[in-house]
Chains A and B, each alone.
Chain A
Amino acid sequence: MTILFTDARLIDPETLTETRGNLVVADDGSIAGPWSGAKPPKGATVIDCGGKCLAPGIVDWGVKIGEPGERHRESFGSAGAAAAAGGVTTIIARPDTLPAIDTPETLEFVTRRAAGASPVRIRHMAALTKGRDGHEMTEIGFLLDVGAVAFTDVFAVCADSKTLSRAMTYARSLGALIVGHPQDPGLSAGAATTSGKFASLRGLPAVSPMAERMGLERDLALVEMTGARYHADQITTARALPALRRAREAGLDVTAGTSIHHLTLNEFDVGDYRTFFKLTPPLRSEDDRQAVIAALAEGLIDVIASFHTPADEESKRLPFEEAAAGAVALETFLPAAMRLHHGGHLSLPQLFRAMARNPARRLGLPQGCLSPGAPADLVLFDPDAPFLMDRFRLRSKSKNTPFDGARMEGRVLGTWVGGAQVFQAEE
């Protein structure tokens, strides 16, 4: 079915431009291009965008879904519904499941389950080492064959540099992308917050921000040694940035991401031991937050992801040290990102470059742009619509959002995947 979007504010992350215009989606579910005809194409459905923003759907790199093993926290169905409502059209799922996605059989199983259950696209990363325990590499070749887009042990840092260097060397021969979590495992062991005045006053175990730089420096040295393709999942501190810059300037095949929470919240938000603000890595100082925003604006950091991590009430209603880390974010990702837009830090095209185009491009996916021929994965949203966040209205099975009760702006009006509408906002 051909669709004509009229009077849209088109957000193009490729050209970094915003234009007022029309967009046609061909009946094969791909973007056909702009339309300047006086009448709509024959048989086309016309959608009047009323001057609202039309952008490529978000490609959210690093979403935890509880399948297999923890379906009570999140299923492919609930994650997919949450994603559609949040303007996320491609979920890049994490392998830190129970058991880990570390064999081609498990990957095939989850791929099949996801295909039937989710209205949005779901692609999987696979574990880098068996059981994510940092000892033996997984069957990287077979896993690539069944569709793994990248390899990562998620937050379980491979402490043994020899194992990691071998996995990187092997991965390079297959062109596989490795995603690292830059963190020195020794220094950060047991930490619940970032060290500093606030952590000291609250009496919480803390990690120096230096642990991130140490982890990153180690990984980058191994990249230099092995020639692997590498992506750092979350850069959240100012101190890690010079290392990243050096690696880029040296021409290493390195990209980096950060999380929407670290861009919009800081360590003080934990306040009176609020466990919904306990994240991995922990929230940072305001100086770090500002430095990371600047690095993103400059293009040193490529990707913003939500790191959606569903946690049930039982695992959060505990003393801070013992509580689970992580926050759900599929539905709050876009409104949280609007804070960066309204704060004047990043333009809408810059945001969608980091939330859609860059992750898609790095993962070798055709999504993330408005160019003719690209899949028509689109989000229509009003960047200014205000609302009061109520966590019990989230579609995720888990309700652990740090934005509960927050005033937010940015509302998704409609979401399309391959030209088919998967979400329509209620009036």
Chain B
Amino acid sequence: MAFRARHLLGIEPLQPLEITTVLDLAERYVELNRRTVKQSDALAGMTQINMFFEASTRTQSSFEIAGKRLGADVMNMSVAQSSVKKGETLIDTALTLNAMHPDLLVVRHPSSGAVNLLAQKVDCAVLNAGDGRHEHPTQALLDALTIRRAKGRIQRLTIAICGDIAHSRVARSNLILLGKMENRLRLIGPPTLMPAGVADLGAEVYDDMREGLKGADVVMMLRLQKERMDGGFVPSMREYYHRFGLDAEKLSHAAPDAIVMHPGPMNRGVEIDGDLADDINRSVIQDQVEMGVAVRMACMDLLARNLRRERGRKIAETLV
């Protein structure tokens, strides 16, 4: 077995072989999810808690469905109704939940590194569902699976990531994953939304969409949050769309069979043209959502196996 991790906190600690292990297993869950009866017992009897300190509909429901299809008891805890609002610290919340003996903890938090901190304090397996601007590993894995299914491989592709790179954990996780798999990476966006030092990470940086898209096999668009558009980082929504919004004309500079991706939720008319997003010949945005469930099932399955093995070993040690 090639997947040894205790937690899934990010793509950074994963080996390429671990990444392909997740993708291969996810393929099997894609098949399962397309059946009428979508049940597996991989997590039967286990408890999964989804702890979202930041609002999320898509990721949270994806994790919830993934857990339920694997037979886990799933509980959702969203921050709006939790004691975090009453001033409880992250660590105390984690310790409280830990005392309830969950097996899988799915966490999203607005601060970078918060999920790593939490993972140090609990006994269960922790899945990072996005921490600040740091990582969003399951998103990168589902993007990789989508690309592999569309392109037949996940190596030696020219992949352009466009938009708000600086504030995007999706961009970071993808940059690391696709870099590990030896692809040619391009980052395209206004310089105000480009993090410092990215050129050293092995990506080519462009501030011209047409130039950056030239010959690209995959075009990944990122969401631009509305509050960043009113003069703080870019002058206005319309200027941004004019220069960096993906439309058919800009896409024509990419490879003729280039696919278009977006992690959602989309701002139609801001970073992507509505018709293009719906074009089934180019857009794989709906596939990404489908792969999301399968990849999350694969990740949780693998972490649960490791957890069982670790617990089994501990019991064996007490017997000796």
Contact = CB atoms under 8 A, between A and B. Distances in A.
Asked if chains A and B come from one complex, the reply is yes
Given A319-B109, A319-B111, A320-B111, A197 B201 contact: yes
A203 B200 CA distance: 15
A363 interface: no
A273 B12 CA distance: 14
Given A314-B89, A317-B89, A321-B132, A204 B196 contact: no
Nearest to B199: A197
Contacts of A196: 196-197
Given A317-B91, A318-B89, A318-B90, A202 B198 contact: no
A321 B197 contact: no
A320 B196 contact: no
B150 interface: no
B140 to A, nearest CB: 14
B15 interface: no
B6 to A, nearest CB: 14
Given A314-B89, A317-B89, A321-B132, A200 B196 contact: yes
A339 to B, nearest CB: 27
Given A197-B201, A203-B132, A208 B89 contact: no
A203 B131 CA distance: 9
B133 interface: yes
Contacts of B134: 202-204
B112 to A, nearest CB: 4
Interface string B112-153: 111011000000000000011111000000000000000000
Contact of A203 (B89, B90, B169, B198): B169
Given A201-B201, A203-B172, A321 B112 contact: yes
B19 to A, nearest CB: 18
Interface string A309-338: 000001001111110000000000000000
Contact of B196 (A208, A272, A317, A318): A208
B203 to A, nearest CB: 11
Contacts of B133: 203-204
A241 interface: no
Contacts of A318: 89-90, 117
A200 B12 CA distance: 13
Chain B interface extent, by class: 20 to 34
Interface string A243-285: 0000000000000000000000000000011000000000000
A197 B196 contact: yes
B274 interface: no
Contact of B112 (A195, A197, A204, A317): A204
B196 A199 contact: yes
B135 A203 contact: yes
Contacts, number: 70
A204 B114 CA distance: 11
Contacts of A322: 111
Nearest to B194: A200
A388 B196 CA distance: 36
B195 interface: yes
Interface string A382-423: 000000000000000000000000000000000000000000
Contact of B117 (A198, A201, A319): A319
A272 B13 CA distance: 11
Nearest to B175: A201
A195 B90 CA distance: 26
B272 to A, nearest CB: 24
B14 to A, nearest CB: 15
Interface string B68-95: 0000000000000000000001110000
B196 A319 contact: no
A206 interface: yes
Nearest to B12: A201
A200 B198 contact: yes
A273 B115 CA distance: 10
A319 B113 contact: yes
Interface string A187-222: 000000001111111111010100000000000000
Contacts of B200: 197
Nearest to B9: A272
B317 to A, nearest CB: 26
B196 A195 contact: yes
B113 A272 contact: yes
A204 B172 contact: no
A201 B10 CA distance: 11
Contact of A319 (B114, B135, B198): B114
Interface centre among B90, B112, B114 (most CB of A within 10 A): B112
A208 B195 CA distance: 11
B112 A320 contact: yes
Interface in B165-197: 169, 172, 195-197
B164 to A, nearest CB: 13
A227 B134 CA distance: 47
A206 to B, nearest CB: 7
Contact of B197 (A200, A273, A320): A200
Contacts of B131: 203
B200 to A, nearest CB: 5
Most buried by B among A206, A317, A319: A319
Contacts of A204: 112-113, 132-134
7 pairs of A and B residues whose beta carbons are closest in the complex: A273-B113, A203-B133, A197-B197, A319-B111, A203-B134, A200-B195, A319-B114
16 contacts: A195-B196, A196-B196, A199-B195, A200-B195, A200-B196, A200-B197, A202-B134, A203-B172, A208-B196, A272-B116, A273-B116, A317-B89, A317-B117, A318-B89, A319-B109, A319-B114
Interface of A: 195-204, 206, 208, 272-273, 314, 317-322
Given A199-B195, A200-B201, A208-B196, 13 more contacts: A197-B201, A200-B172, A201-B12, A202-B113, A203-B113, A203-B169, A273-B112, A273-B117, A318-B90, A318-B117, A320-B112, A321-B112, A321-B113
